[in-house]
Amino acid sequence: MSAVLSCQLFTCLCVVFLTSVDLEVHVVAEGHGLPAGLAEVEMIERARAKRAWEVGLPELQDTQQMDKRRRMMEQQELTEWATREQEIEKYVSLH
């Protein structure tokens, strides 16, 4: 019985952790999302980095910083596209 409770507690904690970085987890169970693999860990790390980056953006109300905010967002978008392209290339090379 305690093993079942431990597993349920671990699953619950994992769901709370993953949703705290705005990732959706539809099925969280052994073999279905748990344990997290390298790809999931990298996705979580990217989500954390993006959250930290968003905190550093100039406020929307600061009209003098709008150009800086726009440039920062454009650079972030380019970085995200480059990351996606690398992931696609990695996937294609594996198959």
CA distance 72 to 87: 23
CB atoms within 10 A of CB 70: 11
CB atoms within 10 A of CB 18: 19
Residues 4-50: tens digit of each pLDDT: 444 444 444 444 444 444 444 444 555 565 677 888 888 889 999 99
Residues 73-85: tens digit of each pLDDT: 999 999 999 999 9
pTM over 0.75: no
Residue that the structure tokens 């980095």 belong to: 49
